[in-house]
Amino acid sequence: MQGKIKKIGVLTSGGDAPGMNAAIRAVVRGCAFQEIECVGIYRGYEGLIESDFEALNARSVRNIISRGGTFLKSARSKEFRTTEGRKKAYDNLKNAEIDALVVIGGDGTFTGALIFNEEHDFPVIGIPATIDNDINGTDYTIGYDTALNTVVEAIDKIRDTASSHNRLFLVEVMGRDAGDIALNSGIGAGAEEILIPEEDRGIERLVESLKKSRKSGKTSSIIVVAEGDKSGKNIFELAEYIEGHLEDYEIRVSVLGHIQRGGSPSCYDRVLASKLGIGAVDALINGERTIMVGIHHQKVVSVPLETAIKNGAKYDKNLRRVADITSV
């Protein structure tokens, strides 16, 4: 479907990320600037299937730039994974005379948008928003910077109690398939060890390294463990294993969980979301279709949606080296 865009629908889908509200705000105000209508779709693809729509204007998005979460709400829709569900969604968009969709989310959101576009030839633009930073073709995703700061703040606090009690702490952070949060927060918070899904260095090495640092005079240690690490054990089993192989440490586990997804977005995420929201509307006006707007070297770039969902994890071997050298 080609032609002049007069009305854009915007939705947030998948795991929420701080800065999603700022992105919605930018899309709505970008539409106002271009004198086109904007419709908010509640609860992601669920709301698309149920026609949960509301017209939005520049005033509808006041005072939301500083708020975490997403006022449009988010969901992981099972029905949108079916052909029938997507057909319902298409019919609802047609009835509401919406010409294009801006979807704000991660790889699951983009995968759904791509299939929808293939089936119904409906213009879609993606805006990357996930704390995982696991989208290809963009240096950063919205929410990642805020999540990193939340994690570093939490680990700094854990460090205080770890060193007061001479304890070893295992701190679990999010990231089922991507170690960006673990690796960067680990370096930022001075963790002794960092376990990520992109590599398997073996738990024997981990134990040996902890013994060595204990011998060198360390009295407490922090191990940052990404959800999807390759030890083959969950964090409590891992703690038990280490306890069984390391006598002189008392061990505690702290799972940070969804605290990492909440909170007021950092200034970096607010600005990134604003740039990408405006970029998405500009892209549609300029006739671009089925792309994601991303950020590369501080510039807004267009990346085919297909590329965005491929090999998302951006494992940086140099960061691993930095972590190893600085954590002795």
Q: Which residues are catalytic?
A: 132
Nearer to ligand F6P (CB atom), residue 21 or residue 221:
21
Should residue 151 be labelled a site residue for ligand F6P when binding is judged by CB under 6 A?
no
Nearer to ligand F6P (CB atom), residue 198 or residue 227:
227
Should residue 224 be labelled a site residue for ligand F6P when binding is judged by CB under 6 A?
no
Candidates 63-71, 125-133, 208-216, 275-283: pick the segment binding ligand F6P (CB under 6 A): 125-133
Q: Report in angstroms how near the CB of residue 274 gets to ligand F6P at its nearest.
A: 22
Contacting residue, 40, 47, 175, 265, with ligand F6P by CB under 6 A: 175
Q: Considering CB under 6 A, how many residues would be counted as binding ligand F6P?
A: 10
Should residue 15 be labelled a site residue for ligand F6P when binding is judged by CB under 6 A?
yes
Contacting residue, 227, 265, 270, 319, with ligand F6P by CB under 6 A: 227
Contacting residue, 43, 73, 261, 275, with ligand F6P by CB under 6 A: 261
Please list every residue from 92 through 121 that binds ligand F6P, using CB under 6 A: 106
Candidates 49-57, 128-136, 246-254, 264-272: pick the segment binding ligand F6P (CB under 6 A): 128-136
Nearer to ligand F6P (CB atom), residue 134 or residue 193:
134
SS3 track for the chain: CCCCCCEEEEEECCCCCCCHHHHHHHHHHHHHHHCCEEEEECCHHHHHHCCCEEEECHHHHCCCCCCCCCCCCCCCCCHHHCHHHHHHHHHHHHHCCCCEEEEEECHHHHHHHHHHHHHHCCCEEEEEECCCCCCCCCCCCECHHHHHHHHHHHHHHHHHHHHHHCEEEEEEECCCCCCHHHHHHHHHCCCCEEECCCCCCCHHHHHHHHHHHHHCCCCCEEEEEECCCCCCCCHHHHHHHHHHHCCCCEEEEEECHHHHHCCCCCHHHHHHHHHHHHHHHHHHHCCCCCEEEEEECCEEEEEEHHHHCCCCCCCCHHHHHHHHHHCC
Should residue 131 be labelled a site residue for ligand F6P when binding is judged by CB under 6 A?
yes
Q: Report in angstroms how near the CB of residue 299 gets to ligand F6P at its nearest.
A: 26
Using CB under 6 A as the criterion, which residues of the chain lie in contact with ligand F6P when the complex forms? 15, 106, 130-132, 174-176, 227, 261
